[in-house]
Amino acid sequence: MNTFALVHRLLEAALRLARSGKRVVGLTVIIGQLLGIREDDLRAEWERQTAGTAAQGAQLEIQHLSAEFSCMICRRLFRTEQEHPACPYCGSLGVKIEHGEECLLQSIKLDDGTCLP
């Protein structure tokens, strides 16, 4: 998913949940390491797309989720910075991505103090 589309979806969700004249003042998102989204690009696109909306000026908190893989041979879980790793336990190249491709909207904070999980 590209940065524009990701921010568009996040903003749509935030504004839909805010509704009835409330302003979005904060948003927390979790971005997987393998998603390929740079934090600077995400912040710049957030600023651009929120301009003139009920989310303008909202603080964007970004949390990072490490990539986690499972080995198809020895069934062990492991984490690594590599995008196409071999299993560090048995050396197999047959690995499955368990985590790291997610983009999760964790919470939205509104101007009335409401925090929506």
What gap in Å lies between CA 31 and CA 28, rounded to an integer? 10
Nearest to 27 by CA among 36, 18, 40, 38: 18
Q: Output the pTM of the full model.
A: 0.82
Segments in 1-117 forming alpha helices (H): 3-18, 39-50
pLDDT digit string, tens, across residues 42-90? 999 999 999 999 999 999 999 999 999 999 999 999 999 888 899 999 9
- Run of H or E including 25: strand 24-32
- Residue 109 binned pLDDT confidence (cut-offs 50, 70, 90): very high
What gap in Å lies between CA 52 and CA 20, rounded to an integer? 16
Task: Tell me the fold of 3-16+23-116.
Answer: hypothetical protein PF0899 fold (3.30.2320)
